[in-house]
Amino acid sequence: MALADVVDLLVCPLCRQSFTVTPDERLLRCAQHHAFDVARQGYVNLLGGAPPKNADSSAMVAARARFLGGGAYHRIADRVQELVADRPHARMLEVGAGTGYYLARLLDAWPLSRGIALDVSVAAARRAARAHPRLGSIVADGWQPLPVADRAIDVVLDVFAPRNADEFARVLSDGGRVVTVTPEPEHLAEIRRPLGLLDIQPAKRDQLRATLSAFQQISSSTLRYAVSLTPAPLHDLLAMGPNAFHLTDAAMDGLVASVTTPVTVTVAVRVSEWSFPA
């Protein structure tokens, strides 16, 4: 069970005590006897309540798996891998991990690393649990205190996901890094424009800098390339994210033409400028 390999990195969301795995590997139990079932698919739900209404559905997760499996974002994963290339023994946490695609790529590259995929969606956690044998999958809210021990993580990975800066600083080890992937204004422009989707505002860059102001940026690079999508992966691209809640089935079913669009993202690495109190 991959969860057994990362249980030392987790804490109980109710009392913040450390966990152990029961001998039958069916429960995580803390020193205060709070217990959480390990689902038969291999993930554990530490959310403590119902997921939000905008949590990814099973259909959205399946669309994401198909789209990412098609290779359109392979170059993003490659760039992330390049930027953490000196962390072969890392303990990693991907927040808003979805299917665990990016974290699994890192774990493939660094066989001595292990990681936690965290997502608020049960469907996503179920899928991520089988993404890699050294990946432990948990359901938790990235905006809330993370069920992760202080200073337990060497690399926090955040790809198009929520950024809880205070919690990132708390869970990072000394010298730990936050790796972010954020879209630039022209990202997927040839898809967003004809469908009337919201533009990515240039102010997003300033918002990211302000959110992560407690961290020092040590590298940043913008990745630009064109990707050609036939109707099936184009449909999956729209169905795998927030647009799935807004576009009608008729609008997505009407996507009959292939399209070439820019993929433009910035990948940045930051380190904490302060240490969490002991």
Mean pLDDT of 64-84: 95
Which of the four pLDDT bands, split at 50, 70 and 90, describes residue 277?
A: very low
Threshold 0.75, pTM exceeds: yes
Which of the four pLDDT bands, split at 50, 70 and 90, describes residue 251?
A: low
Radius of gyration of the chain (CA): 19
Please list the alpha-helical segments (H only) found in 176-223.
189-195, 203-211
Of residues 171 and 25, the one with the higher pLDDT is 171
The tokens of 202 are what? 């240039």
The tokens of 173 are what? 């080890």
**Averaged confidence pLDDT in the chain:** 89
Mind listing the pLDDT tens digit for each residue in 222-237? 999 999 999 889 889 9
Among the listed ranges 8-17, 151-160, 236-245, which one has the minimum average pLDDT value?
Answer: 236-245
φ, ψ dihedrals at 69, nearest 5°: -65, -20
Among the listed ranges 8-22, 79-93, 223-237, 251-265, which one has the minimum average pLDDT value?
Answer: 251-265
Mean pLDDT of 205-216: 79
Please tell me the distance from the alpha carbon of residue 260 to that of residue 256, in angstroms, as a whole number: 13
Cα end-to-end distance, the chain, whole Å: 31
Determine whether 174 is exposed, middle or buried from the number of CB atoms within 10 Å of its CB (0-12, 13-18, 19+): exposed
